[in-house]
Amino acid sequence: MHVHNKLLKESTFLGHVYWVTVSQEFSIYKLQNDIAHVLKLYFSCENDERRRAAELFQAFKERGRFVLILDDVWNQIDAEEIGIPLGMNGCKLVITSRSSEVCHWIGCQKIIKVNTLSEQEAWELFLKKLGRVELHPRVEGICKKMVKRCGGLPLALVTLAGSMRRVSDIHEWRDASEGLAESCMGRAGMEYVVLPVLLYSYDRLRDTMLKGCFLHCSLYPENCHIPRDELIENFISEQLVERSYRSFRAEIDQGHAILNQLERVCLLEKTSNGTDVKMHVLIRDMAIEIAKENPRYMVKAGLHLREIPDVQEWTEDLDKVSLMDNTIMEISPGTSPKCPRLSTLILSGNPLKRIPDRFFVHMCHLRTINLSLTKIQSLPNSISDLEDLRTLKLKFCNELESMPSLEKLKELRHLDLTGTSIEEVPKDMDSLTNLRFLYLRCSKLKVLPTEILHRLSRLKVLSLPIHICVPIEKVEALKKLEVLEGRLNSARDLNRLLKSRQRDKRLSFYRLSLSSKRYRDFDDVHILSCKRAQFEDGSIMESSSCKDGNLLPRDIQELIFDNSGLSSCLMDDFPILNNARDLKSCIIENEDKLECIMRLSFSNDQQSSGAPFQSLEILKLGNLRNFIGLFMWEAAAPLSPFTFSWLKKFKIGHCCKVKKLFPQSLIHNFRNLEELMVFNCVQMEEIIEGDKNEGGNSISADITFPRLLILHLRNLPQLKSICKGLIVCDSIRHILLEGIKKIKKVPLYLKLLNGQPSPPPSLILIWICREDKEWWESLDWDHQNANSVLERLVRYFDGQWWMAQDQPSNFGSGPVDN
């Protein structure tokens, strides 16, 4: 409305600014009538939509420049059918909608998301609508809690303020606040004003699958950041998605599509990390209101409960119960709720130690139990009689040491024992022939009876402890397997697995350690986000012993080499890396033989199209086979434009033979690089080696890292040059320099503002070892004031990183790794 009023005052449109509210029950006929009304146009033909569209088109054309605002659009609109001349010069169409899908369908050139109000804005709006300037201090404290509960939603704030406008009694304020804490929809006005508006978004989903997935999100606590991977796994386990008859990849894709669709209609919100979603507090309240009827939910998550709800709240018509993230330590002996229809029970995130034996007796149709992150020490025997049970999650129950018999759980599809303390696999696990998900990453598991895997032929997801090496022939036999986490004996086993997968289903996600003895443990990143291989302890085959070289999945995203036995050239061992388009992270450590990453050569055609060498003459200047650098130049496959093109993190350390890191000609491929870490490479002389001219001399040229955030250079005693020219990097946030005293110049480009150097706009901190302070202060810069300009960003640390002051929390992994 502010935009409308402002445009009316501008001479550009001569008052031709029109506002039309589009009803939720949309029709072309009605919208044409509404537009004609604001244009003061009378149709010559009342019933012919095409002729009416032509008359509207002509009326707009006669006005020349105009703005048409269509407010609250819920449906896809064809402007041509309505009579709006979108292609005409001077025509501006503005729409407001709660669905970004509508904006995309209409073809909006710019989409602006209107965010909720900040806390200060929300407070000011509340006071304005309350009609008061000052409040009693005790009332003000209550009001601020109530305002926060509205989550910055203007409609809720206005409605709440209106309902409290004449309230002065402190008791009434406290009562209103208490009711609001339980549910915003319980407050007078909210149920009749706010709920119907929010509910319309839910009703328009029209797809029971989407509605079921949306309501499932309400089982999490208020303001919870919910991992997308966890939600999607829940959707699949609880059969809320439809594609179980197809590949697991198809189910994952459908899960992401569902979450994206819920985000587009503003029923879910993206979080800043991009891997989680959250529900606005009022949207969650609406979902809980919906689920009080059919399906029937009891949601008391994150409320600091010390006991489970009273028995009268466990009604027979309950479908799902969520008590996650409370402080429930025990359930009274003899407790046995009568919930014959209950399908899902979530008790995760409680310090719960024991469950009474009869607790599950009257929950005969229970299909999902989640006891993850509890202190449960043993499971009640009654769980063994839940013959309809499909999902049992005991993730990170680190005090759980044994399991009851699983023989009767023939319908079980999903079993997660990650992080438990069991030493033996559960009894009768080989009877779980319908099992699809098996998570067995248990650090205390002594042995894995491999004959069990043979019986579990329907497995799609298999996660095994890294200290147990799984025989490759057992994995090969699992023809339906699409997700694998565990340890194989060597790169030869990986080759064999990948070749067998050419006939069977390909791996969609994987986290593989290739090592015969030594291993580093996996992190806790969800396996459904992982495509990683880590080669360790001499596991790599010599290229001469393998006709195809060491194979890798083509969609590999993360690679780790740690004392793996790499030869002098990485690309000789893994030629497939030249076209690994999805590779995002590469870590190389403790490789004593490594001299280079790749050997490059270029044809005349490649040179003329911008290849690194501008003249082939340079190849005649010497015996390049004797040149040692991270990239060696000799006859080999040409550099692909995709080599490292999606790489975000490159880390190399303790590689004693590497002298040159990157040729300058490769840097243009690093357009997505965010982290560069080089440490403890005792012969490293140059980070970015300059290209040579025809005379064999290095060419000084500036280079650009458009997305680099973190640069670490540590303990490189022979390093003489970072690069020949300047490094232009406006994105850089953190720099750490230690033990590079042969460097005379840090080639960081400092833009001149009013004749004075200015640090890169994103730069937060420069970390310098205190022992190197004198070296730092003696560096050469292109401008004499550069050092003083940068000094305010410098922090000195003593020896070990963790002794440094003001350690930034967002410094990525930090040098502690090293």
Alpha helices in 553-664 (DSSP H): 570-573, 604-608
Which has more confidence, 503 or 360? 360
Q: What is the pLDDT of residue 538?
A: 84
Q: What's the pLDDT band for 183 if we cut at 50, 70, 90?
A: low
Sign of CA dihedral 798, 802, 805, 809: positive
CB atoms within 10 A of CB 536: 23
* Counts of helices then strands in the chain (DSSP H, E): 21, 33
More confident residue, 802 or 751: 751
- What is the pLDDT, as a whole number, of residue 88? 84
The whole-number pLDDT of residue 439 equals: 96
d(C-alpha 4, C-alpha 678), whole Å? 56
**Measured distance CA(495)–CA(474) in Å, rounded:** 15
Residue pair 284/179 in contact by the 8 Å Cβ criterion: no
**Exposed / middle / buried, residue 265 (Cβ in 10 Å: 0-12, 13-18, 19+):** buried
User: What pLDDT is stored for residue 519 in this prediction?
Assistant: 63
* 723 within 8 A of 688, measured Cβ to Cβ: yes
Element (H, E) at 474: helix 472-476
Query: What is the spatial distance between Cα 742 and Cα 608, in angstroms, rounded to a whole number?
Result: 37
Measured distance CA(43)–CA(32) in Å, rounded: 10
Query: What is residue 380's three-state secondary structure?
Result: coil
Mean pLDDT of 371-384: 94
- Per-residue pLDDT of 70-85, as tens digits, reads 998 888 888 889 999 9
At which residue do the structure tokens 């250079």 appear? 713
Q: Is the pLDDT of residue 431 over 70?
A: yes
pLDDT mean over 32-45 = 89
If 0-12 CB within 10 Å is exposed, 13-18 middle and 19+ buried, where does residue 56 land? buried
Distances (CA, A) of 575 to 356, 397, 667, 782: 59, 43, 20, 42
Burial label for 354, CB within 10 Å (0-12, 13-18, 19+), is middle
Which of 200-214, 290-304, 604-618, 661-675 has the lowest average pLDDT? 604-618
So what's the pLDDT on residue 818?
Answer: 32
Q: Is the pLDDT score of 809 beyond 50?
A: no
| Token digits of residue 67 | 């703005």
How is 705-761 classified by DSSP, letter by letter?
-SS--EEEEES-TT--BS-SSPEE-TT--EEEEES-TT--B--B--EEETTEEE--T
Write out the two tokens for 740.
């590079």
Least confident span in 136-150, 320-334, 338-352: 136-150
d(CA 718, CA 189): 73
Amino acid in the structure at residue 766: I
Predicted confidence at residue 186, as pLDDT, reads: 55
- Say how far apart CA 670 and CA 178 lie, in whole Å: 55
Residues 548-577, mean pLDDT to the nearest whole number: 88
Q: Using an 8 Å Cβ cutoff, are 619 and 633 in contact? A: yes
Lowest-confidence region among 141-145, 155-159, 557-561, 776-780 = 155-159
pLDDT tier at 600 (50, 70, 90 boundaries)? low
Between CA 508 and CA 506 the distance in angstroms is 6
**107-116, 198-207, 243-252, 253-262: which has the minimum mean pLDDT?**
243-252
- What percent of the chain clears pLDDT 70, i.e. is strictly above it? 88
> If pLDDT is split at 50, 70 and 90, which confidence band does 281 have?
confident
Question: Residue 745's CB: how many other CB atoms inside 10 A?
Answer: 13
Q: Which residues pair with 269 in a beta bridge?
A: 278
Closest CA to 123 of 85, 168, 82, 154: 154
Per-residue model confidence (pLDDT) at position 362: 94
- Residue whose tokens read 């891997």: 275
> Cβ(297)–Cβ(319) under 8 Å?
yes
Q: Is the pLDDT of residue 631 over 60?
A: no
Q: Are 803 and 771 in contact (CB under 8 A)?
A: no
DSSP, collapsed to helix, strand or coil, labels residue 396 as: coil
Give the model's pLDDT for residue 202. Answer: 86
Q: Is the pLDDT of residue 621 over 60?
A: no
Distance CA 117, CA 153 (A): 7
Between CA 679 and CA 657 the distance in angstroms is 13
Q: Decide if pLDDT at 756 tops 50.
A: yes
User: For the chain, what is the radius of gyration of the CA atoms?
Assistant: 32
Residue 114 predicted with pLDDT over 70: yes
Which phi and psi (to 5°) does residue 600 adopt?
A: -110, 145
C-beta of residue 22 within 8 angstroms of C-beta of residue 72:
yes
Q: Is the pLDDT of residue 414 over 60?
A: yes
Beta-bridge partner residues of 135: none
Average pLDDT, the chain: 85
* pLDDT number for residue 787: 87
pTM above 0.75, yes or no: yes
d(CA 597, CA 578): 10
Distance of alpha carbon 317 from alpha carbon 315, whole angstroms: 6
463-486: average pLDDT: 92
The residue type at 576? I
- 755: amino acid identity, one letter: G
Task: Give me the residue label for tokens 């939910």.
Answer: 297
Q: Which of 217-221, 288-292, 536-540, 727-731 has the lowest mean pLDDT?
A: 536-540
Give me the pLDDT at residue 812, please.
39
Which of 288, 262, 320, 318 shows the shortest CA–CA distance to 195? 288
pLDDT tens across 433-443, in order? Answer: 999 999 999 99
Cα–Cα distance measured from residue 635 to residue 789, given in angstroms and rounded to the nearest whole number: 47
Non-local CB neighbours of 178 within 8 Å, separated by 6+ positions: none
Q: Is the pLDDT of residue 714 over 50?
A: yes
